[in-house]
Amino acid sequence: MGLSEKEKMIAGNQLFNVYDDELVAERAAARKQVEAFNALGESDPAKSQALIRQLFGSTGDAVSVHANFRCDYGYNIYVDDDFFANYDCVMLDVAPIRIGKHCLLGPKVQLYSVNHPAEPELRRNGAMGIGKPITLGDDVWVGGGAIICPGVTLGNNVIVGAGSVVTKSFGDNVAIAGNPARVIKSIAPKSAVDD
């Protein structure tokens, strides 16, 4: 028996039917959770954090996400300890989005783990998608308005300049910026502070 559309989506690099009944239902359920989270705003931080912990696939300690937040499924988002996402972030989590410890996302940061095929017949009406995971290492800081494209991996101690479009992967200890993003300088490795 072949893979379900959900299994193809999560596996990555395989075409899947975006309008599969199971996926449509899961997106609708996630939207209800996201709307409840966004409606709270900053009025009840404990309840907001509880909603994010229910929505995400896993969370570490000290997770803070500001409204308005958007995602497709939620269960494909994995964040480690000391995570902060500022206002208006978007995580299209068709494929897994994994974020390490001590990471900061500025306002309006967008993480897209979904793409569509190049062939026009396959992408008409957005019917077919391709998931490509995104991974951010520890101590990554993504400046406001930056976009991380499908399939990107950023190493540890990476700074992404505000407004950048990151189309390829980068290793540890670099500052990147631009469209497309490129290395603008090296950063001294993080010191041996407690982890």
Catalytic residues: 116
Q: Which residues are within 8 A (CB) of 97 and not within 5 positions of it... i.e. 6 or more apart?
A: 76, 77, 78, 91, 111, 113, 133, 134, 135
Single out the residue of 65, 35, 69, 36 nearest to residue 49, CA to CA.
Answer: 65
How many CA atoms does the CB half-sphere of 92 hold within 13 Å? 18
Contact call for residues 83 and 62 (beta carbons, < 8 A): yes
Structure tokens of 189? 């490795």
Q: How far apart are alpha carbons 126 and 86 in whole angstroms?
A: 29
CA distance 38 to 22: 24
What is the Rg, in whole angstroms, of the alpha carbon atoms belonging to the chain? 17
For 56, the token pair is 């995400």
